Amino acid sequence: ALRAALELLGFHCTAVWGRGRSGFALPSLAEVTRSRRGLRGDKLGRELGPTHISRLRTAGSKLCSSVSTGFGPFGRHPVNSSWEAVKELSNLGLGKDVVVQILQLHVAYKKTKEQVSKIWETLQPQFTVHVGVASSSKAIILEQCGRNRGYKDADICGFSPEGGVCLSDGPDVIESTISMKAVCKNISVNGIQVLFSRDAGRYVCDYTYYLSLHYGNGCAAFIHVPPLSNLLTADLLGRALQIIIQEMLKQFGKARE
């Protein structure tokens, strides 16, 4: 039933199992199934849709459920680096005792609103990470907050929110519970700079982030990645996401202790 519901929303998910564990139940799902890298045991494969759910043991060995997303093609980006990077992340995993599931979002306000709502209402993760492309950037950008107003640019369907507002009764700004400045300070990524930002751009990325922060009570993060190039490959971006998200989850785990 869950799979059918997600497929109606356009989800196409894959599950990836971390090393050293044959599987474990997700609280709001039945069992994520699909084996990775020749793990022993029965074939585990259940597909859910473009969403990434990951579970890992954070600080204090407390199990944490997380969802990660990338975006589909739009405009000058027939291949969206955010989705390519998230797919690489799913291959890399987030360490021992981690299950990774990836989800692709549409670059469309209405559809994305449905998808983000379903992530929190149906999957009920403890933490969600969204990844989008920053067209003019050569760096990775960690966004601290999402904003409610100023959405004037039309999406791939030619639609823009009425009044340029995400939620009519929502606050102007919602902050992530994660300190992005602390993440920037604590990590080092070879081959690419990591920057801090408080302006996610007032397009579908910012819109998605604001909604996720709203539904998740601040337990979300947004990472902008640059377009792919000869130097900035999907592999490099995937490895960067791995380092960054592991640091975020470490911070999140400590806050839960």
- Give the domain ranges of the chain: 2-256
Q: What pLDDT sits at residue 15?
A: 45
Q: Which CATH superfamily is domain 2-256 in?
A: Peptidase C15, pyroglutamyl peptidase I-like (3.40.630.20)
**DSSP characters over the chain:** -HHHHHHHTT---EEEEPTT------TTSS------TT-SSS-------S-EEEEEE-GGG-EEEEEEEEE--BTTBSS-HHHHHHHHHHHH-SSTT-EEEEEEEPSSHHHHHHHHHHIIIII--SEEEEEEE-TT-SSEEEE-EEESB---S--TTS---GGGBS-TTS-SEEE-SS-HHHHHHH---TTS-EEEES---SSHHHHHHHHHHHHTTT-EEEEEEPPP-SSS-HHHHHHHHHHHHHHHHHHHHHHH-
pLDDT tens profile 16-42: 433 333 232 333 332 332 323 222 222
Q: What pLDDT sits at residue 124?
A: 83
Q: What pLDDT sits at residue 252?
A: 86
Task: Catalytic residue, from 13, 143, 145, 214: name it.
Answer: 143
Task: Catalytic residue, from 106, 205, 214, 219: name it.
Answer: 205
pLDDT tens profile 184-198: 999 999 999 999 999
pLDDT tens profile 143-172: 999 999 999 999 999 999 999 999 999 999
pLDDT tens profile 44-98: 223 334 444 444 444 444 455 778 999 999 999 999 999 999 999 989 987 776 6
Query: Would you call 224 a catalytic residue per the annotation?
Result: yes
Query: Would you call 184 a catalytic residue per the annotation?
Result: no
Query: Would you call 205 a catalytic residue per the annotation?
Result: yes
Q: What pLDDT sits at residue 54?
A: 41
Which of 89, 95, 98, 42 has the alpha carbon at shortest distance from 65? 98
